[in-house]
Amino acid sequence: MIRKTRLFTPGPTPLLPAAQFAMAAADIHHRTPEFRSLYTRVLAQLKEFVGTKNDVIILSSSGSGAMEASVSNLTSPGDRVLVLTAGKFGERWTGITKAFGCHVDVVDAPYGSTFTLDQVKAALKLETRAVFVQATESSTGVRHDIEGIAKLLKSENSEALLIVDAITGLGTTHLDMDAWGVDVFIGGSQKAVMMPPGLSYLAVSQRAWDRMEATYNPRYYFDLRKERKNAAKGESAYTPAVALIAALGASLEYITGQGGGDLTVGRTNLVNNAETCAAMTRAAAEAMGFRLFAPKGYEAAAATAILPPEGTDSGVIVKGLKSKFAAIVTDGQGEMKGSLFRIAHIGYFDYMDTIAIIGALEQVAIAAKLPLPNLTFGTGLVAAQKFFAEHAK
């Protein structure tokens, strides 16, 4: 049979055709009224997509650039900060904050789990200036309790800013920046907004803008205050990634269309879509006898991390899906390689994609004679079909 390449990875994610067309057509100069009107519209729509009244800044970088910008703009050398980590992306926060000379406290939960609010409370100091965390840890498929952490910081009267890598949280998780009092939400283009890598964005609270007046870690290209000043005029400080901004505009239009002309509704529908695809996948995997990596109730809708049967390398499944069906799923990152595989639901995935990957997983698992208790054709598909019939919104 012919093989159609399909990404089932939590970034890059499958591309929206309209975003690709918009990129190809974007030969405009960035100091023109044409660009200014595009940029102004995209920035306004991004606020709605994030679900905040706060200003949103776009940077020409992958997601980690915005993570670094949040550290360089919001901390000073010697600042005490708290990193909450349970995976590879959490560890990136530790790396960046250390690189910028922060005194870093770490709550380090095992991979495949999350930390308790009691652990966070115990690690929070009077001097803690900022807390860094992921909304969803893409390396393990675990969702962290951002609302709970935000409430905890409030109830402790903490001065700490809450800075959240929501790079796979946005568009997959119901998040409420303003109501919860989150100070920074970070997003990336190759995730829920269905376009290529190269843009990151940050929503920044007034409290965080105020903090920037006093912090003095070095920053130049990623100077958020400079970008904010320019954004108010519909421009960016340096040459922006014009084609990617055009693509982002097209994606946000698509999401608006999925909400019947209302971007807020479209965003909610996109989150519900990811949740449905994720729940179908979990139901299928468990029916086939696989175990899930994330604890019950803390599964990220961005991606499902599935454990192979004891004694089997997850590479068998990753390679089987690729060679037989050209379906790209991700193995575990770093030391998790071989011990899990991840199927993504973030962005441009639908019912059809989900059914297809579950069917393909059955094929690969049965061909490899994986030692799973309920491994026959249809077991996973039936569970997914039932979930969809009973729950899909």
Ligand X SMILES: *Cc1c(COP(=O)(O)O)cnc(C)c1O
Q: Does 64 bind ligand X (CB under 6 A)?
A: yes
Instruction: Starting at the earlier edge strand, list the strands of the sheet with 291-292.
Output: 291-292, 303-307, 341-344, 330-331
Binding to ligand X (CB under 6 A): which residues in 125-144?
134, 138
Name residue, tokens 């089932």.
8
Q: Which of 62, 76, 230, 385 binds ligand X (CB under 6 A)?
A: 62
Cβ atoms of 304 and 285 closer than 8 Å: yes
Q: Does 183 bind ligand X (CB under 6 A)?
A: no
Q: Is the dihedral of CA 220, 224, 230, 231 positive or negative?
A: positive
Is 228 marked within a binding site? Answer: no
Residue facing ligand X at closest CB distance: 63
**Which string of x and - marks every residue 88-127 that binds ligand X (by CB under 6 A)?**
-x--------------------------------------
Nearer to ligand X, 152 or 167 (CB): 167
Q: Residue 265's CB: how many other CB atoms inside 10 A?
A: 14
Q: Residue 152's CB: how many other CB atoms inside 10 A?
A: 18
CA–CA dist 161, 33 (Å, integer)? 36
Nearer to ligand X, 63 or 380 (CB): 63
| Minimum CB–partner distance for residue 385 and ligand X (Å) | 29
Residue-wise DSSP of 11-52: SS-PPPHHHHHHHHT----TTSHHHHHHHHHHHHHHHHHHT-
Q: Which of 6, 9, 10, 102 binds ligand X (CB under 6 A)?
A: 10
Binding to ligand X (CB under 6 A): which residues in 185-204?
188, 197
| Minimum CB–partner distance for residue 62 and ligand X (Å) | 3
| Minimum CB–partner distance for residue 60 and ligand X (Å) | 12
E runs forming strands in the chain? 6-7, 55-60, 80-85, 103-108, 130-134, 136-137, 142-143, 161-165, 184-188, 199-204, 291-292, 303-307, 327-328, 330-331, 341-344
Which span (39-47, 164-172, 268-276, 337-345) binds ligand X, by CB under 6 A? Answer: 164-172
33-50 helix and 263-288 helix, angle to the nearest 10 degrees: 50
Nearer to ligand X, 138 or 158 (CB): 138
Q: Does 347 bind ligand X (CB under 6 A)?
A: no
| Minimum CB–partner distance for residue 165 and ligand X (Å) | 5
* Tokens, residue 48: 């709605």
Nearer to ligand X, 138 or 354 (CB): 138
**Which string of x and - marks every residue 363-392 that binds ligand X (by CB under 6 A)?**
------------------------------
Number of chain positions touching ligand X (CB under 6 A): 13
Q: Which of 6, 8, 11, 364 binds ligand X (CB under 6 A)?
A: 11
CA 52 from centroid of its chain's CA atoms: 17
* Tokens, residue 259: 């909400």
| Minimum CB–partner distance for residue 277 and ligand X (Å) | 17
State which H helix or E strand residue 263 sits in: helix 263-288
CA-nearest of 176, 162, 109, 184 to 139 is 109
Q: Does 168 bind ligand X (CB under 6 A)?
A: yes
| Minimum CB–partner distance for residue 64 and ligand X (Å) | 3
Cβ atoms of 375 and 259 closer than 8 Å: no
Q: Does 165 bind ligand X (CB under 6 A)?
A: yes
Task: Provide Rg for the chain, Cα atoms.
Answer: 21
Interface contacts to ligand X, rule CB under 6 A: 10-11, 62-64, 89, 134, 138, 165, 167-168, 188, 197
Binding positions for substrate are 342
Binding positions are 342
